[in-house]
């Protein structure tokens, strides 16, 4: 059972993906975005994976998996899009202490990969502990329709406001209450950002959180 959700820092760490189809592409996109050193092993890479390799964003081995491919890896995936020896790859991940995930095989998974919505530094994840990935995907699509690109700018606004009101001069419960009040009407705040009035949104937050705030 998966009962803990964490975010891993994979910057500069090796991630090995065994597989060459859409499932591999999705994981490559996320890992490259996160700054990982990505290695893909597949005899039949998709056009998108070929493009990533040509651009130098991933290292691509155009062959089937073989023992030793997980050497130096921090984490790995077997997307099962190729004819791969599932048990053997899993055994190597155990021997090398590699965090590993095998698609549609919960017994051979250290973690479940959630569906992700990204808006700049804002990251929303939806997971079902690997039990209903189609539901997680559908909910991700729903959130993508609801959470627009202005939320990426809102993160910048709130970061700037936070820097302006620090250091806090009240006890943390009061501080948290002020932030809650500042963000109570989130729709109105995001509307300001969406309309290009980020400075007004920042001043509004600072007024609510800073000295003499709510």
Question: Does any domain span residue 192?
Answer: yes
Q: Is residue 90 part of a domain?
A: yes
User: What are residue 39's DSSP bridge partners?
Assistant: 16, 59
CATH assignment at residue 101: 3.40.50.720
59 within 8 A of 53, measured Cβ to Cβ: yes
Give the mean pLDDT of the chain.
93
Total structural domains within the chain: 2
Is position 94 within any domain? yes
Residue 214: what pLDDT? 40
Last residue of a domain, one of 60, 87, 113: 113
Shared domain check, 78 and 18: yes
d(CA 77, CA 133): 16
31 band by pLDDT with thresholds 50, 70 and 90: very high
Long-range contacts of 161-165 (CB under 8 A, 24+ apart): 161/202, 161/205, 161/206, 161/209, 162/209, 164/202, 164/206, 164/210, 165/206, 165/209, 165/210, 165/211, 165/213
Parent domain of 166: 150-209
Domain end, chosen from 86, 113, 140, is at 113
Same domain, 20 and 104: yes
pLDDT tens readout for residues 66-98: 999 999 999 999 999 999 999 999 999 999 999
Indicate the residue among 68, 85, 113 that finishes a domain: 113
Structure confidence by residue, pLDDT tens digits, 154-213: 999 999 999 999 999 899 999 999 999 999 999 999 999 999 999 999 999 999 998 644
Looking at residue 211, its pLDDT comes to: 60
**DSSP annotation of 45:** -
Place of tokens 């808006």: 119
Residue 103 in any domain: the answer is yes
Helix, strand or coil, per DSSP, at residue 143: helix
Question: 175 and 107 in one domain?
Answer: no
Query: For residue 48, how far is the Cα from the chain centroid?
Result: 20
User: 138 in a domain, yes or no?
Assistant: no
Residues 201/182, Cβ–Cβ less than 8 Å: no
């Amino acid at each position: 059972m998966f009962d803990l959700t964490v975010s891993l820092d994979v910057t500069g760490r090796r991630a090995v993906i065994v597989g060459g189809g859409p499932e591999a592409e999705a994981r490559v996109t996320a890992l490259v975005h996160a700054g990982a050193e990505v290695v893909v092993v597949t005899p039949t890479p998709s056009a998108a994976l070929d493009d990533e390799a040509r651009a130098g964003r991933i290292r691509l081995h155009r062959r089937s998996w073989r023992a030793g491919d997980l050497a130096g890896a921090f984490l790995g995936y077997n997307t099962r899009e190729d004819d791969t020896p599932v048990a053997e790859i899993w055994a190597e991940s155990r021997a090398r202490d590699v965090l590993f995930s095998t698609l549609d095989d919960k017994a051979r998974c250290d973690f479940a990969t959630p569906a992700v919505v990204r808006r700049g530094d804002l990251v929303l994840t939806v997971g079902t502990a690997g039990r209903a990935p189609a539901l997680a995907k559908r909910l991700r699509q729903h959130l993508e329709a609801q959470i627009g690109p202005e939320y990426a700018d809102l993160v910048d606004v709130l970061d700037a406001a936070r820097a302006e009101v620090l250091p806090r001069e009240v006890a943390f419960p009061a501080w948290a209450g002020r932030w809650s009040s500042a963000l109570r009407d989130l729709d109105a705040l995001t509307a300001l950002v969406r309309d290009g009035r980020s400075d007004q949104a920042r001043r509004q937050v600072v007024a609510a959180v800073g000295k003499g705030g709510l």
